[in-house]
Amino acid sequence: MKVKEIIDDIEINSFKVPPHKFFVNEELTYLSLPLNVEEKVIINKINELKLGRKTIEKLYAIRLDSEPWQYNELELPDLLNNEVDGTSMESKGNVIFSAYIHVNGIKNFLKIIAFKYVSYVEVDIVRLAGYRGIVRYIVHF
C-alpha cells in the first residue's frame, strides 16, 4: 500500500512492507540493487517458493521504534517515485554490497548491505530516517 510520509518537512512517497513471507513489487528494486540481477530473475526466484523451494525468503520487516507487543508496519521509500541518490561504501570481509541511499535530499535515509556466506546471501535494508527499522532477506542461489 502506498503512503505519503513527511520527514523534516519533506514529502516521501513510501510503501508498506509486509512483515514476512509476502512481497510487494517495490521490494524487487531493493533486491535487484545489491544482488545485481534483473527484477525478472527475482520474480522467478520468489515464485519458486510456491514450489517449495526457498530461494528468496523475507525473514522479517520490523519497526524498531514501537513496543514489542504493538505492531506497526514498516514503510520504505519507493525508489522509483522519489529523487534517489546513493553513496557506495567500501566492501570488507563477507560484505559484497554496502550503500547509503539518500531520498529527496534526506541524506542516509537507508543503508543497504549484502553479506555473502557459503550457501546464501543475506540482504539487510536498514531504515535510518524518521524512525529506525530493518528488513532482512535470505537469498539462495
pTM over 0.85: yes
pLDDT at 70: 75
pLDDT at 113: 98
> Does the CA dihedral 50-52-53-56 come out positive or negative?
positive
pLDDT tens per residue across span 49-64: 777 777 899 999 999 9
pLDDT at 72: 84
pLDDT at 128: 98
For the chain, give the secondary structure using H, E and C.
CEEEEEECCEEEEEEEECCCCCCCHHHHHHHHHHHCCCHHHHHHHHHHHHHCCCCEEEEEEEECCCCCCCCCCEEEECCCCCCEEEEECCCCCCEEEEEEEEECCEEEEEEEEEEECCCCEEEEEEECCCCCEEEEEEECC
pLDDT at 20: 86
Closest CA to 17 of 139, 129, 137, 138: 137
| pLDDT band, very low/low/confident/very high, at 136 (cuts 50, 70, 90) | very high
Closest CA to 2 of 61, 60, 65, 80: 80
